[in-house]
Amino acid sequence: MEIKEEMTLQMKNVLSYRGKMDEATNLKKKDEIFNLITEFGAHMVHPPVQTVFGAEQTEKGTLLDMEILVPLDKDVSHEVLIRQRQLPGYRFKPEFLLTNAVRLHHTGEDSSIEQSIKELYSYIKTRNLHPITTLYNCTLNDPDDPNKLIVDLIIGIDPNKL
Phi, psi of 50 (to 5 degrees): -125, 150
- Asked if pLDDT for residue 52 goes beyond 70, the answer is yes
The count of residues in the chain is 162
pLDDT digits (tens, 9 = 90+) for 105-159: 998 877 788 999 999 999 999 999 999 999 999 988 876 666 778 899 999 999 8
Strands 61-71 and 149-157: unpaired
Q: Give one DSSP letter per residue of 14-41, joined into a string.
A: EEEEEEEE-HHHHHHHHHHHHHHHHHTT
- Distance, C-alpha 29 to centroid of its chain: 14
Residue 33 and residue 29: Cα distance in Å, rounded? 6
pLDDT digits (tens, 9 = 90+) for 66-84: 999 999 999 999 999 999 8
Collapsed DSSP state (helix, strand, coil) of residue 52:
strand
Amino acid at 82: I
Check residue 160 and report its DSSP letter.
S
Half-sphere exposure of 102 (CA within 13 A, CB side): 24
Angle at 93 between CA 8 and CA 150, to 5 degrees: 45
In the chain, pLDDT over 70 holds for what percent of residues? 96
Phi, psi of 71 (to 5 degrees): -75, 135
In whole angstroms, how far apart are CA 58 and each of 18, 21, 63, 111, 157? 19, 11, 7, 25, 32
- Asked if pLDDT for residue 64 goes beyond 90, the answer is yes
